[in-house]
Amino acid sequence: MCGRFTQTKSQKEVLEQLGDIELPPLFHGRYNIAPSQTVAVIRSNEPERADESIWGFQNPKSTSVVINARSETLAERPLFKDLLATHRCLIPADGFYEWKGKQPYYFQFPKKQLFAFAGLWRNDRCVILTRAADANMQGIHHRMPILIPSNHWSRYLENFHPLENPPALTARPVSCRVNKVANDNPSCLDPADEQIDLSLFPAEQ
């Protein structure tokens, strides 16, 4: 599951990590990216540039927006089954949030590197692919987004090969300010009022 994420790096920082790639003006310190907002995506048919896309597919059977797709059942879902072969995309990020009860937690790579969510796109919209949670999630949630380190982006775009064991994540409880979409500033990453020892939570079995 992934319902909010961050993309706090500047254009300059992204280019330093990725090299020569064309970027939209979306890398300017975003701390609370939510569904239906515009995000940057790198599509498999244009890997040399990032474009703007709206996060979430319209559900043809309701008014809801579909923001995540279970990677294990893509072939069974009419909304996704024709997209994996030719409509893969990467959604750059440097952290994401997950909730245990009412408490949000913030996950990122240990050195705060830019990574990408594995995704699918259709027209001007995208979704994030998810998988069963691993030990990185520390018992917070039973699902997690598929994460692609930047040195594996080409591999994913050329052929769907997510890492079986992605790099370990750091996690910490953060301010409940992130619960409100209008709050999009560094205060979303402030420590929670009461810090929690994550070692007390068993890893998902």
Q: Point out the residues that are catalytic.
A: 2, 98
Cα 165 to Cα 26, 92, 189: the distances in Å are: 29, 19, 26
Cα 148 to Cα 127, 138, 155, 178, 193: the distances in Å are: 15, 19, 9, 24, 31
Tokens of 109: 């790579």
Scored b (16 or more CB within 10 A) or e, 43-59 reads bbeebeebbebbbbbee
Place of tokens 């959604």: 91
Q: Which residues contact 172 (CB under 8 A, 6 or more apart)?
A: 105, 106, 191, 192, 195, 198
Tokens of 140: 């917070």
Cα 36 to Cα 3, 66, 114, 115: the distances in Å are: 11, 10, 22, 21
For 138-175, the DSSP string reads TTS-SEEE-EEEGGGHHHHHHS----SSPPP-EEEEB-
